[in-house]
Amino acid sequence: MGELWGKRLPNGTWNGLMGLLSRNEAHIGVANSFITDNNGRLKVLEYSQPYDVDESCFLIRSAAELPRWQSLALPFTPYVWLGVAVAFVCTSPFLFWLAKSGEARGESFRSLADSYLCAWGIQLREPHTFYPVCTSTRIFVASMWFSSVILTVAYSSHLTAFLTIRRRPAVPETFKDLYEGNIDVASIGEFFNISMAATGNYYLQSLSKRYFISKTLDEALVQVKLGKRVYISGRKALEYLISTQFSSSGWPTMRVMKECFAPYSIGATLQRHTPLKRSINLALERMIESGLINRWFSEALSRHRKSTQVEPDQTDTSKRDHVTPLNTVHMQGIFLILLFGYLVSTSVFMIEVLRGKNAQ
């Protein structure tokens, strides 16, 4: 009852799966058992030959998807946007000065605001009513048009991709990230805590001091769901857990952290000196050679994915067999810009009306 693999008790006996084998109450144990002598296991049981390999990984909560309206700014880096803004602020007064200096030849703007509006139209590749007369002004306007063509083509060619791709904020991916983020570790039993403390990695050893032992999986996952802890276990066990419990719809709410450690061979647990070991090893060898181990695991994951109808990741082009249409979620940034225009123009209109009344 909740003892799982089992641990060594103060009186020297074992509970869980190890206890059943040591007391001759079971002949074979199959439970993703890592082949190791942790806490003196080999004194009470034996392992079959390895039939799989796994590694110790961390289960962490997936970050919430970022708002799609932010995608409008993604085609360019912040430094490029800063350069565009600085160029716009500087070129408009320079264009006004060139036109003002050619005023005697019939070339000028009524105000600096007209110059900014003309420069804005050039950036958007829209026709304008200002036609340069002076050679100097023509050269400058031509350079503005050339730069705006490159800028708008580069932006529009990247925008569609960013509108359809799901984006999530940066999340911990390494042991260092967990340590610096003050994130605790939880699991069932002491096995993984001992494994972390035995490594030569400073961050893993430090995380072993923030290790919480849980009696059940549900108890361990309570804080993991809140983002306050991570759950450590074998990679395949975590992948199965995500597929069965955290992928009911849409994007999985949990993920496996990229950096893992301590790869282990997996074998069946047996009674010591059992005559069944030779036959079991032969059967396992045949299953390995035929590829049944990997096939069964893949089928188990596939079966659960189909039953939960998990939405495919839009960033994985190999899983898409059709073009994704743009919906209101993708285009929310455009409507926000339009709403912003309504609000600002209305506010300015009210200010102009009030000024007109005061002038009378």
Are 91 and 144 found together in one domain?
A: yes
Q: What is the mean pLDDT of residues 100-124?
A: 71
pLDDT for the residue 293? 83
Of residues 327 and 86, which shows the higher confidence score?
Answer: 86
The string of pLDDT tens digits covering residues 56-79 is 999 998 877 777 777 788 888 888
CA atoms within 13 A on the CB side of 38: 19
Whether residue 18 contacts residue 6, with contact meaning beta carbons closer than 8 Å, is answered with: yes
Q: Find, among 67, 69, 27, 59, the residue nearest to 45 by Cα.
A: 27
Are 272 and 242 found together in one domain?
A: yes
Are 265 and 178 found together in one domain?
A: yes
C-alpha distances out from residue 75 to 80, 82, 105, 152, Å: 10, 13, 42, 11
Nearest 5°: the CA angle 121, 124, 127 is 50
Within a domain: residue 327? no
Within a domain: residue 339? no
Beta carbons within 8 Å of 32's beta carbon, 6+ residues apart: 54, 234, 236, 237, 266
Are 79 and 60 found together in one domain?
A: no
Confidence label for 249 from pLDDT (cuts 50, 70 and 90): low
Mean pLDDT of the chain: 80
Within a domain: residue 130? yes
Determine the straight-line distance between the first and last CA of the chain, rounded to whole angstroms: 87
Whether residue 108 contacts residue 114, with contact meaning beta carbons closer than 8 Å, is answered with: no
Are 191 and 258 found together in one domain?
A: yes
CATH of the domain at 223: 3.40.190.10
The string of pLDDT tens digits covering residues 284-324 is 899 888 888 888 888 877 776 655 554 444 444 444 455 66
Whether residue 224 contacts residue 230, with contact meaning beta carbons closer than 8 Å, is answered with: yes
Parent domain of 79:
75-157
- Cite the beta strand spans of the chain per DSSP E: 28-34, 46-47, 52-61, 184-188, 211-214, 229-234, 254-256, 261-270
The crossing angle, in degrees rounded to 10, of helices 135-164 and 78-101 is: 160
Beta carbons within 8 Å of 15's beta carbon, 6+ residues apart: 3, 6, 7, 9
pTM beyond 0.85, yes or no: no
Are 196 and 147 found together in one domain?
A: no
Q: What total number of domains does the chain contain?
A: 2
Question: In the chain, what percentage of residues exceed pLDDT 90?
Answer: 11
Q: Is 229 helix (H, G, I), strand (E, B) or coil?
A: strand
The string of pLDDT tens digits covering residues 172-195 is 889 999 999 899 999 988 888 888
Are 42 and 80 found together in one domain?
A: no
Spatial separation of the C-alpha atoms in residues 322 and 107, rounded to whole Å: 54
DSSP class per residue in 76-121: S-HHHHHHHHHHHHHHHHHHHHHHHHTGGGT---SSHHHHHHHHHH
